[in-house]
Amino acid sequence: MSKHVIVIGAGFAGLAAATSLAQQGFRVTVLEKNEGPGGRARLFRAEGFTFDMGPSWYWMPDVFEQYFARFGKKVADYYELVRLDPSYQVIFKGPEAVNIPAGMSELRALFEQLEPGSAARLDEFLRQAAYKYEVGINKFVHMPGRSLLEFADPRLLVDAVRLDLLQSMHRHVRKFFKDPRLLELVEFPILFLGATSENTPALYSLMNYADLALGTWYPMGGMHKIVEGMVQLALEQGVQLEYNAPVQQIVVEKGCATGVQTAAGFRPADVVVAGADYHHAEQHLLAPEWRRYDEAYWNSRTMAPSSLLFYLGVNKRLPNLRHHNLFFDEDFSLHAEEIYENPQWPSRPLFYACAPSQTDPSVAPEGSENLFLLIPVAPDLPDPEATREHYYHLIMERLERHCGTSIRDAVVYKRSYAHQDFRDDYHSYKGNAYGLANTLRQTAILKPSLKSKKVSNLYFTGQLTVPGPGVPPSLISGQVVAREVAKEN
């Protein structure tokens, strides 16, 4: 009889791990604490609006295509994907609104307009970023990060040098661009998903290649369509999914996980894969003697930002908005400092506004606008209602000024979401939204290991282990851990 694997959590990593293992002949059950799949990419509906709760950017379309291709499928078998043009809008100081075009010739012209001579430098910047993307995404991120021997191939050592692991993003991008607007444009993925550019390896310019060259996409119906496709694929492979089934304990005997305990009773397993928050799974689901890390270790980690989110239903259409809108009309460096160097609620926050109804009429009633607002903030902050309201009005004033119309009096649905909600819904360590920051000391083998050192058949997947935060890395993480499980079991 085939071995039984229990996967804890039905987020991107958990679903990818479960489906990949089922394809390889394992019996797989996914236990999810919430009422539906998706993890941070869940959705909810209210007053005729459909809200994606978390991820809203669709980058690296090749990663999704490669995932579905593993099973003889295509993305188009599960959802309709459209490329956004412009990719997004950036509101700089002034305020100055700049649309980032999807076409490369138009993008080069925009760079040249903002900084004469920068179009040619953009070509070289993206040429180097393309190499990093090719090697980083197709080689390095698929490594399990369990031993330095994984990098023993001399060809990989040459690649590692060319990947700029020892140079910072801050220094790297300033070799190509001087204009503050261009610097903010190429550094924004770091602020929203990682760390300061000074502490992030230049390797992550691969994100700029994903952004500026591969483009920004959108699955019609919303980001949850990806989850729905992954669930359908998982069911096709024979995966069993159970919702409202939080795991209370990973049961270990003589260094081997025998199963998990839930409110409904003990569930035996031959292998356990924890796709839930790594810190929660190890520090709260395991007895102390089976934990590899301690609280001091976790507290010493540099976390990526958390977020203060607002989901708004507006009963009118709003001018001057694109699908994605980045409000960089305040001090970029000050906001980064207040996340990473002096953690506190930002004094003059940057924020992001997503209006998917600009592209997709299905997510809002006719004549209405669906808004998702996000302020990146430091993790582990108190987030009382009064604080949330303060920031709501702070950014709504700027949004109304940009749109040239009142919005607050047209809001027919409003919901906020921040640190405590991340803790309640996902057991998120310090209320983080994205996982660990992409610093050099938290890359590859320096991340929390995907394999338990003390429990022989316990594995971890998701944004707190390899390869890191974001939807495509989580998708890859599930496949990497499935490969390790199959190899050792």
18 found inside a domain:
yes
Whether residues 110 and 213 share a domain: the answer is: yes
Give the confidence band of 399 by pLDDT, cuts at 50, 70, 90: very high
pTM of the model as a whole: 0.96
The pLDDT value recorded for residue 408 is 98
Give the confidence band of 195 by pLDDT, cuts at 50, 70, 90: confident
Q: What's the pLDDT tens digit per position in 80-130? A: 999 999 999 999 999 999 999 999 999 999 999 999 999 999 999 999 999
Among 183, 217, 251, identify where a domain stops.
217
Neighbouring residues of 157: CB distance < 8 A, sequence distance ≥ 6 = 151
| Exposed / middle / buried, residue 3 (Cβ in 10 Å: 0-12, 13-18, 19+) | middle
What are the backbone dihedrals phi and psi of residue 465, each rounded to the nearest 5 degrees, phi first? Answer: -125, -165
The pLDDT value recorded for residue 147 is 80
Whether residues 211 and 227 share a domain: the answer is: no
Whether residues 210 and 241 share a domain: the answer is: no
CA 139, 141, 144, 147 torsion-angle sign: positive
Give the confidence band of 156 by pLDDT, cuts at 50, 70, 90: low
**3-class secondary structure for the chain?**
CCCEEEEECCCHHHHHHHHHHHHCCCEEEEECCCCCCCHHHCEEEECCEEEECCCCCECCHHHHHHHHHCCCCCHHHCCCEEECCCCEEEEECCCEEEEECCCHHHHHHHHHHHCCCHHHHHHHHHHHHHHHHHHHHHCHHHCCCCCHHHHCCHHHHHHHHHCCCCCEHHHHHCCCCCCHHHHHHHHHHHHHHCCCHHHCEHHHHHHHHHHHHCCCEEECCCCHHHHHHHHHHHHHCCCEEECCCCEEEEEEECCEEEEEEECCEEEECCEEEECCCHHHHHHHCCCHHHCCCCHHHHHCCCECCEEEEEEEEECCCCCCCCCEEEEECCCHHHHHHHHHCCCCCCCCCCEEEECHHHCCHHHCCCCCEEEEEEEEECCCCCCCHHHHHHHHHHHHHHHHHHHCCCCHHHEEEEEEECHHHHHHHHCCHHHCCCCECCCHHHCHHHCCCCECCCCCCEEECCCCCCCCCCHHHHHHHHHHHHHHHHHHC
Whether residues 207 and 146 share a domain: the answer is: yes
Whether residues 244 and 197 share a domain: the answer is: no
Please give the average per-residue pLDDT across 284-305, as a whole number.
96
| Residue among 312, 310, 313 at smallest CA distance from 416 | 310
Whether residues 173 and 201 share a domain: the answer is: yes
142 found inside a domain:
yes
Tokens of 381: 């902050």
Range of the domain at 66: 4-44+60-72+221-301+437-488
332 found inside a domain:
no
Greater confidence (339 vs 148) lies with 339
CATH number reported for the structural domain that contains residue 280 in this entry? 3.50.50.60
Neighbouring residues of 315: CB distance < 8 A, sequence distance ≥ 6 = 365, 367, 368, 410, 411, 412
Whether residues 32 and 111 share a domain: the answer is: no
Greater confidence (191 vs 255) lies with 255
Among 195, 217, 239, identify where a domain stops.
217
Whether residues 161 and 64 share a domain: the answer is: no
Please give the average per-residue pLDDT across 281-299, as a whole number.
97
Whether residues 113 and 212 share a domain: the answer is: yes
40 found inside a domain:
yes
382 found inside a domain:
no
| Exposed / middle / buried, residue 331 (Cβ in 10 Å: 0-12, 13-18, 19+) | middle
What's the number of domains the chain is made of?
A: 2
Edge-to-edge strands, sheet with 27-31: 240-242, 27-31, 4-8, 271-274, 458-460
Q: What's the pLDDT tens digit per position in 409-457? A: 999 999 999 999 999 999 999 999 999 998 889 988 999 999 999 999 9
390 found inside a domain:
no
The one-letter code for the residue type at 319 is P
CA 131 to chain CA centroid, nearest Å: 22
Whether residues 122 and 197 share a domain: the answer is: yes
385 found inside a domain:
no
Among 217, 240, 274, identify where a domain stops.
217
Whether residues 196 and 262 share a domain: the answer is: no
Whether residues 203 and 264 share a domain: the answer is: no
307 found inside a domain:
no
